[in-house]
Homo-oligomer: A and B are copies of this chain.
Amino acid sequence: MAKLDFRPIADTTRRAEIVALLRRAILTGQLEPGQKLNELRISEQMRVSRAPLREAMRELVQEGILTSIPYAGTFVIDVTAKDIIDAYSFNKVLDEFAIELAWPQRDPRFFDELDRRHGAVKQATRAVDTTRQIETALQLHGLIYEWADNSVLLETWQRLTNRLQMYFALHQRARNEPVPAEDVHETYVALLKGADMRAAQRHAREHIDLDFEELLSYARGLEKRASKN
């Protein structure tokens, strides 16, 4: 028999679809930080009962992008400057570890996938689709985690990615102008193809620091607005 491995078919529960819808709405910034999610209203809009909606919301609470206060409501998490700082300094450590683990695992499939994802970023950049640009950049970045072959690390990064995507999206929306068209990932990709692991780790840190500065200025703006209330 010809070898052909099928992937598991899609989960066809309402709950799973609701999770995807809500997550997307939050990560793209359609639902703003601190905003309350009214169960009745959302369930009516989605033509769904409150039970699967509530279960979906519990999942997203544990995923770290919603927060729930009993009998008061469920809210999109607030974003503070410190949250962003914490996420980024943590991401540095994770990146270093991921590169270390993934390094000896690099194979032809890795390099192919690297180019493919890099291409996706460039395409989104050309199309000036900022949301997709963020998504694809994070997917490119996630490759080393997938190749690191450490389930806990991968899981942790996926959680972190959610937050990062949200932060970037908020930042983009706030400054209201397209992202730089130049390709900031060229060096990163080249280093991952090279032979110097330390150099790749070093660049990952610096590369991150770049966007970090921009995000921080956005976060500081948030802080100011919050202190006015």
Which of the 9-residue segments A40-48, A107-115, A117-125, A152-160 touches chain B?
A152-160
Q: Contacting A51 at CB < 8 Å: which of B51, B64, B82?
A: B51
Residues 40-70 of A contacting B (Cβ, < 8 Å): 51, 54-55, 58-59, 61-64, 70
By beta carbon, the residue of chain B nearest A62 is B62
Q: Quick check: A150 and B55 within 8 Å, CB to CB?
A: no
A87 touches B (CB below 8 Å): yes
Residues in A lying within 8 Å of B, measured CB to CB: 11-13, 15-16, 51, 54-55, 58-59, 61-64, 70-71, 82-83, 86-87, 89-90, 93, 97, 150-153, 155-156, 159-160, 163
A-B contact pairs, 16 of them (CB 8 A): A11-B70, A12-B70, A13-B70, A13-B71, A51-B54, A54-B55, A55-B55, A58-B59, A59-B62, A82-B151, A86-B150, A86-B153, A90-B97, A90-B152, A156-B156, A156-B159
